[in-house]
């Protein structure tokens, strides 16, 4: 470590910061989109409408059976062929992450919905509320609250998975670190720095999840 060059990190911080910003922004958008789509899928599976339930179950099982990098390839290479025009690396990755994460968020939200006591649903029905009103005003708020720690944990996993966007030539944190490592010839410094950044962010997120769990159990 006596030959460790801190200057190569300091001199390239603006470039690395841009990569981290892309990783965080992609994570944020994918989490929002994944939760929204995942909630709709969970509601579809529990709606009692057979065609919707079958479609949602098939979608979840299909997506969870393939690797994320393959889904990214689908949207980066195949969708532009179907549309007849490119959609760009960022939007390809974002759509792929949303579609992929929705399958996992769907199962999380389904467990959260099922954790709400049926007595509350019956009480909503007794007051004349319809299915979607019960879900909106009674079930979903409680389901989200119950599942917040798991939702955050899935978001942490998603942040780690953003390193896969190098396959569509996006300069996220990992790709930016690799570019600097090759350009400057300082692989040890840059990959250690990238590992440290991922560790700090993910470990901080894990501590936040523990605090949430402790608060919810007291």
Q: Write phi, then psi, for 182 (nearest 5 degrees).
A: -75, -40
Please say whether the beta carbons of 38 and 109 come within 8 A: yes
Measure CA of the first residue to CA of the last residue in the chain; give whole Å.
46
Query: CATH for 7-217?
Result: 1.10.3720.10
Nearest to 39 by CA among 152, 144, 123: 144
Residue found by looking up tokens 């960022």 in the block: 90
Any idea where the domains of the chain sit in the sequence?
7-217
Provide the sign of the torsion angle of the four alpha carbons 13, 153, 25, 103, taken in this order.
Answer: positive
Angle at 90 between CA 94 and CA 56, to 5 degrees: 20
Cα Rg of the chain, angstroms: 21
Q: Give the model confidence (pLDDT) of 167-197 as tens digits.
A: 888 899 999 999 999 988 888 889 999 999 9
Q: Provide the residue count of the chain.
A: 218
Q: Does residue 129 sit in helix, strand or coil?
A: coil
Average of per-residue pLDDT across 199-208? 93
The DSSP code for 6 is: S
Q: What pTM, to 2 d.p., does this model score? A: 0.88
* Nearest to 56, CA basis, from 99, 10, 103: 103
Q: Quick one: tokens of 53?
A: 């339930």
Interval 89-131: pLDDT, tens:
898 899 999 999 999 999 999 888 888 888 887 888 888 887 7
Q: Which residue has the higher pLDDT, 43 or 1?
A: 43
- Give the residue ranges of DSSP H helices in the chain: 7-11, 13-46, 50-63, 68-73, 79-83, 89-115, 118-126, 131-134, 140-161, 173-184, 187-217
């Amino acid at each position: 470590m006596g030959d460790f060059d801190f200057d190569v990190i300091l001199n390239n911080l603006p470039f690395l910061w841009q990569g981290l910003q892309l990783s965080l922004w992609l994570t944020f958008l994918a989490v929002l989109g994944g939760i929204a789509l995942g909630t709709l899928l969970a509601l579809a599976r529990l709606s009692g409408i057979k065609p919707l339930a079958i479609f949602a179950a098939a979608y979840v099982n299909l997506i969870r059976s393939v690797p994320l990098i393959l889904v990214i390839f689908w949207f980066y290479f195949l969708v532009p062929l179907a549309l007849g025009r490119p959609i760009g690396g960022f939007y390809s990755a974002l759509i792929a992450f949303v579609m992929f994460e929705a399958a996992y968020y769907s199962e999380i939200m389904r467990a959260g919905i099922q954790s709400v006591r049926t007595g509350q649903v019956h009480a909503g029905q007794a007051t004349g509320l319809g299915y979607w009103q019960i879900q909106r005003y009674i079930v979903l708020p409680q389901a989200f609250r119950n599942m917040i720690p798991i939702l955050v944990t899935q978001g942490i996993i998603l942040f780690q998975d953003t390193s896969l966007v190098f396959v569509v030539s996006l300069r996220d944190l990992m790709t930016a670190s690799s570019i600097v490592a090759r350009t400057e010839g300082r692989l040890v410094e840059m990959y250690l720095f990238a590992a440290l950044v991922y560790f700090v962010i993910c470990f901080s997120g894990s501590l936040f999840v523990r605090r949430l769990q402790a608060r919810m159990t007291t």
